[in-house]
Structure 1
């Protein structure tokens, strides 16, 4: 097809054929990019192993949903929509940009399959894509430079602000959009002037607007614009490619792989070392993460994939109350260390020996501040994992004897007595003494039963929480369940022990409980403690099926085994607080709510932060004993959220949450105005 302008593949500049530049630019760009990526891969190669090639269909589904469909982006609506616009435009225009590289060498090149109708449709689509991306870049730049959302801010202790880099990259993307549109618009404008066949441009697109503005420009000037636009695009394309692995925009390259390899199961904790059985842990010379290379390759890939969007820290309860933890900077500091220890320039620089991470890259209080609530992982649009990293760093600290003073006593008590209070094993079942006569709790050491009620430590030994045990036993008995307890044979489930880095102690608890449960011959397990539920379900192996009491209630209300009286006229407004280890870690959201809604006349409202965005109470397990540096209690913030929703009763389904909610109500000065109650207590009160 005749064209009024000379293509870059045939143009001469000062007697030099520009095709030379069309060849040299890609060669140089690809060579530099290959070198950079080889250096960036080095820490992954040296890192600890990780098992991520299982369940391929589910991983592909994650890529389609989380990476391609950008499923999590709209959770922050404005930023999410803008990102989707840029991401979708990038995907569409990647075909065009790749084609342009080859067209600089062979002007007749057409991407295979794009020569007919599909090519015509694509041309219109990419014109609009370039327009949408440019508009989105302008909005994103305005948000970064003018609006400045708080989650983008970088506290002084974490180093420099990343706004300049973000604006620079938005400028590069805009340059690609403008140069591509100018390249095509100049050609169409020249063809229109000469009466040649002109390619169709999508109306009101960037290329269409440029074409309209250039119609009165001379063909000679259009020729210059055509060539200059092409090489600006070519140079920008390869510069951008090589710039990406140098900073936070590395995620443009790594995000696809990071989402593919992201964790599929939640609630569990990675083993100390993949390929090492629990019985062989004593043979390991070192536990946990102490140096950069002790992280797994996936976790270093996480560091590379952080987009610095701040969503994790914006949802982190520890960060919200002023604890010295911001998940975002766990990733950023890890990435900065990898870049520092494996330098790209000057060329030939040797790799640096990694120092101990604690005290250099991370601080002890920073790592101990995490409640392992999972809010950061739930929010991350790129599948970055934090809990396993935190736990591995804690394992390393425990191995070095760096355990907070306030945690040493409960951990010692757990080792000696199987509970953090250090109380006698024989008193574990004392709470059953005051049960109603019609509530029968079997002792599984003496008789058999179909079900095990796994009580766990806090409900067994805390005077206030024993009411949860009594209410749970009442519900089970009156619903017709044949159940029993392990009594003194039960040990702490170990959920927090493992998450605080005491792996060997956890293994001891796990083995003892597993033997006791299997020897009892029960067919299924019920617990009212989400932490025990999570541990038995996700950290143990080979046990009978387990359910939380809320699931048992919902199932038996539906079958008619549990009938509830109404709450008409009690004048209370209830709200349900989702415990982290029941909700985010195990997706149990609907059962507790359906149990509440089965009480006729009960008025229930939702807090703004609910379900998978629930706000941690801060009381999980050993956190009851930890004394963190913080500006305000998490529980107080949560109680204030309930009050803002118009509730005066907070219902939860976790003894740890109940402890913190009741304390927070007092601290917030809301005694007499608000109360907290466990789901099992409320249901037991309304059972017929």
Structure 2
């Protein structure tokens, strides 16, 4: 080979690459700061599990075969990445591989590496053919029909083919020249043919062409490979294939708060932030550097399509579209951010880049994050933009105004007088915290707004209280002192209202010395357990299904069976947010005569449509999400649709009414099913 030519090629190619990377990294450094270097051992574990192990591609029941296809390409590319090092070194030093630890002919691992990368190249080529077939023939909706995806696959195929051609021609020349070109100095070259079955088979096809042709293929294979690889590296940096560089770092730097929705804390007393318009996310540079890295890491695989309740029901949202729109904007502005720390200001983030309908369609169910193979955090970014719109622009869906007024005046979104919050318990003789003390109770029952004011969910609160009484649990409620946790305010971007409500609740709870809380609402659970610690509220918080299951395990509640055929809907804020899938199911399995799972269940459950404050917004586009979920429940043939969330209960009950199937399917909370089974 020619070391001078190799030096020139490498200097030019890697200089261009470094310049592009400098701009991108520089832009990320100018974005909002964020700490992501804690708990290194845990991060390494996630890197191997999700990143290198490709868990979210091969471990999910939905679209497993395409996931395996991609995983094989990825694992093959990792092996071939080591091969690239040996080939680039070959351009400078003949027999470079011989000098590398564990890869020379003195090591069995050296020959094993030759075998593995040779097989990997064949596997990658076969998987590329499968990928091209899927892209053009069945083509799922989640795959865009564009030439970028095609030429990326062709570039990868070119890298594989040129390397195989180089090896095949080299094997023939070795046989022809009998090491005349100093091959004897590097014994690995005399033995590797038997360890490279694919290149050896190709050599058999080329051997009859003679020395001249094989010499041409030898040089063409090598320099063609180097050129294809270096051009590809410089092209991919501005395509979706940039994820080949950023995906593993993005997984390593992923949020360790996940699956908890612990939204980034905003200091609302920072006058400078208000003056500079930096409350929430109002411009691209106000993303954190990790959120910017998320954009660069999107593979555009579209796995968020299939799981997104808004996209499935015809709304103008899928996180892939959001990522693509923000990434295009970032590529346009990365130079400005790198040089000045700000964008040009020519486009508004919400309005020009992201349509308001798209922003407000999100239910914050986090199905997209659960499905994302590279750990992109979509929901915090959506909520950050909502914060900017709500607090800086006062631009939010008008119908949510009444909920805000209700929260401000009566501390609940319905606007019912706060003095009526304990009316649901009037006949149950439940003590108020103001009438007892923390030492005299085992647990505080946090009823939540729906359990306090909504007639359907009041039944759930009564069932829960009755079960706790039967078990001999000493408990109390706050009554009129309880206020909305502020979940809907935070999820709709009204951080000021959230912090006001949360601070007052923490003051009340801490004032009474409350340590343990049980609630029937997963949204309250998530706020109390995961978000209130930011305000000094540290409590043991349990969902009522967890608490009731524990009471049954302690034999404080009897077992019984009803005659219901039940299917269970996993609430997003109980399941994906707090990883509780088993407690409700154990109660249902012990209480119902039969249980049938919906196709979308557990972490792949389909949202009811109420999360992200959508409960308080109109749903005018496409199919209603709750009606789609009810349709999925009807497919099971169950007569009872169970859940463990008051918002899900409302949405599913409305969906059943809209379907006209109320006589065949009814809703029940897990507590109601348990109480029924005991009374049966």
User: What is the alpha-carbon root mean square deviation over aligned residues?
Assistant: 2.0
Deviations 1:118-154 (A, max 9, x none): 111111111111111111111111111222111114x
Q: Which whole-Å deviations, capped at 9, do the CAs of 1:573-604 have from their partners, x for residues lacking one?
A: 211100000000000001110111122x6200
Q: 1: CA distance between counterparts of 2:4 and 2:377?
A: 46
Question: Aligned pair 1:603/2:594, yes or no?
Answer: yes
Q: In structure 2, do the counterparts of structure 1 residues 178 and 283 end up closer, same or farther at CA, with 3 Å as the change threshold?
A: closer
- Indicate which of 69, 84, 91 corresponds to 2:53: 69
Cα contact 1:319–1:325 (8 A) shared by 2: yes
Describe the superposition over 1:512-565 as per-residue Cα deviations: whole angstroms up to 9, x where unpaired: 111111222333100011110111011101322010011011111111111122
Counterpart of 1:665 (choices 656, 660, 677) is 656
Contact residue 492 and residue 612 of structure 2 kept, 8 A: no
User: Are 1:112 and 2:105 an aligned pair?
Assistant: no
Q: Is the 8 A contact 2:27 2:335 kept in 1?
A: no
After TM superposition, list the pairs within 5 Å mapping 1:454-533 onto structure 2: 454-533=446-525
Superposed counterparts of 1:267-282, under 5 Å: 267-273=260-266, 276=267, 280=270
- Considering fraction of residues, name the structure with more helix: 2
Aligned residue pairs: how many? 650
CA distance in 1, matches of 2:112, 2:611: 55
Q: 1:31 to 1:283 in 2, by over 3 A?
A: closer
Residues 446-467 of structure 1: per-residue CA shift (max 9 Å, x gap)? 1122210001111101112111
Q: How does 1:288-687 map to 2 (within 5 A)?
A: 288-342=280-334, 352-353=344-345, 355-399=347-391, 400-435=393-428, 440-448=429-437, 449-541=441-533, 542-567=537-562, 570=563, 572-599=564-591, 602-620=593-611, 622-687=613-678
In the alignment, structure 1 residue 58 sits paired with structure 2 residue 42: yes
Check 1:204–1:636 CA distance in 2 against 1; reply closer, same or farther (3 A cut).
farther
**Equivalent residues of 1:190, 1:219 under 8 A apart:** yes
* 8 A contact 1:589–1:611 mirrored in 2: yes
Q: Which shifted more, 291-300 or 141-150? A: 141-150
Render the CA deviation track for 1:285-304: whole Å, top value 9, x for unaligned: 33111111111111111110
Whether the aligned pair in 2 keeps the contact of 1:592 and 1:679 (CA below 8 Å) is yes
The residue that corresponds to 2:186 in the other structure is none
Q: Return the offset for 1:499.
A: 1.1
- For 1:687 and 1:444, how far apart are their aligned partners in 2? 29
Residue 187 in structure 1 maps to residue 170 in structure 2: yes
Q: Is the 2:264–2:380 Cα contact (8 Å) retained in structure 1?
A: no
Separation of aligned partners in 1, 2:360 and 2:345: 26
Residues 1:201 and 1:131: Cα distance change in structure 2 (over 3 Å):
farther
> Counterpart of 1:150?
141
Structure 1 residues 533 and 202, CA, compared in 2 at 3 Å: closer, same or farther?
Answer: farther
Distance in 2 (alpha carbons) for counterparts of 1:411 and 1:308: 37
Alignment CA distance shift 1:282-1:470 (3 Å)? farther
Residue matched to 1:81: 68
CA distance in 1, matches of 2:274, 2:92: 57
Contact 1:188–1:199 under 8 Å retained in 2 = no
Following the alignment from structure 2 to structure 1, what is the Cα–Cα distance between the partners of residues 15 and 470? 73
Native 8 Å contact 2:102 2:110 kept in 1:
yes
Aligned-pair CA distance for 1:194: 4.5
C-alpha distance in 2 between matches for 1:593 and 1:480? 23
Deviation at 1:271, TM superposition (A): 2.2
Tell me how far 1:166 sits from its aligned partner. Answer: 1.1
**Secondary structure in 2 matching 1:575:** strand
Deviations 1:456-507 (A, max 9, x none): 1111011121111101111111111110000010000111211111111111
Check conservation: 2:310, 2:361, Cα contact below 8 A: yes
Give the distance between the partners of 1:191 and 1:19, measured in 2 at CA.
21
Contact between 2:3 and 2:91, CA under 8 Å: does it hold in 1?
yes
Tell me if structure 2 keeps the 8 A contact 1:443–1:486.
yes
- The separation in 1 between residues aligned to 2:346 and 2:74, in whole angstroms, is 36
Contact 2:362 2:612 (8 Å CA) reproduced:
no
Contact 1:578 1:589 in 2 (8 A): yes
Which runs of structure 2 are paired with 1:244-263 in the superposition (5 Å)?
244-263=236-255
Deviates more, 1:609-618 or 1:34-43: 34-43
- Give the aligned partner of residue 169 of structure 1: 152
Residues 351, 658 of structure 1: alpha-carbon distance in 2 compared, 3 angstrom cutoff: closer
**1:40 to 2:27 alignment:** no
Judged with a 3 Å threshold, the aligned counterparts in structure 2 of structure 1 residues 107 and 621 are, in CA distance, closer, same or farther, namely closer
Q: Is the 8 A contact 1:187 1:226 kept in 2?
A: yes
- SS of the equivalent of 1:497 reads helix
Give 3-state SS (helix, strand or coil) of 1:453's partner: strand
Q: In 2 relative to 1, CA 591–239 (structure 1 residues): closer, same or farther, beyond 3 Å?
A: same
TM-aligned CA deviation for residue 112 of structure 1: 2.8
SS at match of 1:150: coil
State whether residues 248 and 308 of structure 1, in contact with CA within 8 Å, keep that contact through their aligned partners in structure 2: yes
TM-score by length of 2: 0.92
Local SS of the residue matching 1:525: strand
Separation in structure 2 between the aligned mates of residue 29 and residue 119 of structure 1, nearest angstrom: 29
Unpaired stretches in structure 2, ≥5 consecutive residues: 180-188
Q: Retained in 2: the 8 A contact 1:324–1:629?
A: no
Residue 434 of structure 1, CA deviation: 3.5
Structure 1 residue aligned with 2:182: none
For 1:564 and 1:403, how far apart are their aligned partners in 2? 48
